[in-house]
């Protein structure tokens, strides 16, 4: 036979946790929404478009050295004057290289690159 008071206490304890977990979930959703809106509204840091940098550097590299190259840069390259980022590269000849991207201006975002 089950004790009705014991069953009621267990049920009340289970129900009392639901608002806590719901609150945690709500806070998490609000944080994600705030971060998304801040990026959308331009309030977050300015980031270089990684794909665009890789394409532009590959084109310039081929023009300069007369050999194609595949460039792989890190995501999230923040535009901050003087900041350096390392990109891995492999030439069509199979040579592994490291390219250094240096932010030269923040507004508008500008950078230079060189072979390390």
pLDDT of residue 5: 57
Cα→Cα distances 92→71, 89, 95, 116, Å = 11, 10, 7, 18
Do residues 46 and 78 make contact, with C-beta atoms less than 8 angstroms apart? yes
pLDDT of residue 29: 82
Q: Report whether pLDDT(8) > 70.
A: no
* pLDDT, tens digit (0-9, with 9 covering 90-100), for 17-64: 777 787 888 888 888 887 676 556 656 688 999 999 999 999 999 999
Q: What are phi and psi of 83, to 5 degrees?
A: -75, 140
Instruction: Return the higher-pLDDT residue of 110 and 37.
Output: 110
pLDDT of residue 14: 58
Cα→Cα distances 50→4, 12, 14, 80, Å = 63, 52, 48, 15
Instruction: Return the higher-pLDDT residue of 45 and 6.
Output: 45
CA nearest neighbour of 64 among 1, 4, 115: 115
- Residue 102, CA atoms < 13 Å, CB-side half-sphere: 8
pLDDT of residue 12: 55
* Sole residue written with tokens 């980022």: 85
Spatial distance between the Cα atoms of 54 and 14, rounded to a whole number of angstroms: 53
Q: Classify each residue of 79-112 as buried b or exposed e, where b means 16 or more C-beta atoms within 10 Å of its C-beta.
A: beeeeebebebeeeeeeeeebebebeeeeebebe
pLDDT of residue 93: 96
* pLDDT, tens digit (0-9, with 9 covering 90-100), for 67-93: 999 999 999 999 999 999 999 999 999
Mean pLDDT of the 88-101 span: 97
Mean pLDDT of the 83-110 span: 96
């Amino acid at each position: 036979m089950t004790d009705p008071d014991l069953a009621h206490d267990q049920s009340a304890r289970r129900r009392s946790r639901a608002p806590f977990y719901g609150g945690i979930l709500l806070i998490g959703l609000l944080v994600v929404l705030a971060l998304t809106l801040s990026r959308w509204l331009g309030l977050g840091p300015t980031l270089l478009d990684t794909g665009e940098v890789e394409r532009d550097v590959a084109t310039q590299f081929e023009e300069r050295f007369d050999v194609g190259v595949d460039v792989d840069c890190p995501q999230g390259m923040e535009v901050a004057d003087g900041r350096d980022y390392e990109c891995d590269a492999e030439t069509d000849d199979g040579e592994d290289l490291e390219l250094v991207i240096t932010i030269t201006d923040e507004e508008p975002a500008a950078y230079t690159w060189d072979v390390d």
